[in-house]
Chains A and B, each alone.
Chain A
């Protein structure tokens, strides 16, 4: 009988549809939310430090990271009239708490997941607008901002995959299955494209490092 079981399993290697377990989504939201909250916290503290001390830069550098102090003084750093990191400071902890609840075994209603999805859509849209501004309008990179870009892309991908998987968002099952089968390749490709854009944009500087 055991042999039959094993045979059946062998004949249908992909018998189980691919799925994201609650532990995977739970840990992703917890870790992502915590990293995002930490980055937002550091950015807020830096913003306060910057306000109290405009600071002295001995030289203007072609290193896009060294000239990042200038990013926080731009209009793009306060799109809604207050410093952007305050948004992350308020929202990332909610994401982390959601993840922790899932790990603890809580199962959340559809409206909760759709709210999380709405937040993820806003967040991922916002960081892409910011990264466009950073690359092509301001011409400088800010490391903690980039941490938030990475976190948002990962959180958006997994929240969306989860919602597709559990039917909170409507989509053809085949498409969902295909996406689930390559779940970590999605943010990987996404981030590599972003990395390539950064590489090209600041090539003049990277070249000096070779």
Chain B
């Protein structure tokens, strides 16, 4: 930062106006060259960053999803159904993450509800892995690989029943999941190939993308006949909503 300018400007203050003017000009010039190099560079960098941000926002804005697209996103033909209602009157969809403690807390309620209602409701499970859970994707991939051998429900149960064993560990639990697959009697060569395949990864991502389209921001998120369930995700709350739907 320049200090010299102030001194000469002050000295010029006593002199005739012409000299004062030129001194003031010189001071401004000094300020510009010294001080504003920093300011210019800093503001320039910030301007570039803002421009990049604006570009990113504009490119990713995209149109809002149409209502039809949203309705279709709740249940896809290839979504995993744990049960299918004969009258297809009530469909419960759960977006879940196998490593989410809130999903684990809701799991006994869900199982109680499923046991109670059986084929009177369609129960659909969709993947919504949360990035802050280190093994959420690995678990979803294991479930999807099991699904490809017709064992989705068995793996779904296994993963929740053992969640406290493998959950919230920073190391990959893929080997643990392979052990579960073995216990379920799966073809291990196929299972390992599926877990590592892009098809399985894409299938999980497609579920998560549907969730994002529907405005899912966390797990567990339930939809009952396409309506987002806003009550407490426990047995009483879910039962009330399911009964309301069945009796409507």
Interface of A with B (CB < 8 Å)?
Answer: 2-3, 5-10, 13-16, 18-21, 24, 57-64, 66-67, 70, 137-140, 181-185, 188-189, 192, 195, 199, 202, 204, 207-208, 210
Contact indicator A16/B2 (Cβ below 8 Å): yes
Contact indicator B26/A6 (Cβ below 8 Å): yes
Say which residue of A10, A20, A63, A139 sits within 8 Å of B134 (CB atoms): A139
Contact indicator A188/B23 (Cβ below 8 Å): no
Interface of B with A (CB < 8 Å)?
Answer: 1-5, 8, 11-12, 14-15, 19, 22-23, 25-27, 29-30, 32-34, 37-39, 41-42, 45-46, 49, 56-57, 60-62, 97, 100-103, 130-134, 170, 208, 212, 215, 217-221, 232-233
Q: Which residue of A lies closest to B208 (CB)?
A: A204
Contact indicator B131/A139 (Cβ below 8 Å): yes
Q: Which residue of A lies closest to B58 (CB)?
A: A210
Q: Which residue of B lies closest to A14 (CB)?
A: B33
Contact indicator B29/A10 (Cβ below 8 Å): yes
Say which residue of B23, B25, B221 sits within 8 Å of A59 (CB atoms): B221
Contact indicator B132/A64 (Cβ below 8 Å): yes
Contact indicator B12/A6 (Cβ below 8 Å): yes
Contact indicator B102/A59 (Cβ below 8 Å): yes
Contact indicator B218/A63 (Cβ below 8 Å): yes
Residues of chain A contacted by B37 (CB below 8 angstroms): 181-182
Residues of chain B contacted by A24 (CB below 8 angstroms): 1
The 19 listed contacts between A and B (C-beta, < 8 Å) are A2-B14, A3-B23, A5-B8, A5-B12, A6-B8, A9-B30, A10-B26, A16-B3, A18-B1, A24-B1, A60-B101, A62-B131, A62-B218, A63-B217, A137-B134, A182-B38, A189-B45, A208-B215, A210-B62
Residues of chain B contacted by A19 (CB below 8 angstroms): 1
Residues of chain A contacted by B11 (CB below 8 angstroms): 2, 5
Contact indicator A207/B60 (Cβ below 8 Å): yes
Question: What 6 A-B pairs are tightest by C-beta distance, nearest first?
Answer: A139-B132, A60-B100, A59-B218, A61-B218, A6-B23, A2-B15
Q: Which residue of B lies closest to A74 (CB)?
A: B170
Q: Which residue of B lies closest to A139 (CB)?
A: B132
Contact indicator A9/B26 (Cβ below 8 Å): yes
Identify which of B3, B11, B218, B220 gathers the most chain A CB atoms within 10 Å of its CB: B218
A21 to nearest B CB, angstroms? Answer: 6
Residues of chain A contacted by B33 (CB below 8 angstroms): 13-14
Say which residue of B12, B30, B60 sits within 8 Å of A2 (CB atoms): B12
Contact indicator A9/B130 (Cβ below 8 Å): no
Residues of chain B contacted by A202 (CB below 8 angstroms): 131
In angstroms, Cα B97 to Cα A139, docked, is: 15
Say which residue of A13, A59, A62 sits within 8 Å of B30 (CB atoms): A13
Contact indicator A58/B42 (Cβ below 8 Å): no
Residues of chain A contacted by B12 (CB below 8 angstroms): 2, 5-6
Identify which of B15, B22, B34, B221 gathers the most chain A CB atoms within 10 Å of its CB: B34
In angstroms, Cα B216 to Cα A207, docked, is: 12
B89 to nearest A CB, angstroms? Answer: 27
Say which residue of B32, B101, B131 sits within 8 Å of A204 (CB atoms): B131
Residues of chain B contacted by A15 (CB below 8 angstroms): 2, 4, 30
Q: Which residue of B lies closest to A67 (CB)?
A: B132
A2-B23, A10-B26 known; A188-B46 Cβ under 8 A: yes
In angstroms, Cα B36 to Cα A185, docked, is: 11
Residues of chain A contacted by B56 (CB below 8 angstroms): 199
A201 to nearest B CB, angstroms? Answer: 8
B228 to nearest A CB, angstroms? Answer: 12
B127 to nearest A CB, angstroms? Answer: 13
A6-B23, A210-B57 known; A61-B4 Cβ under 8 A: no
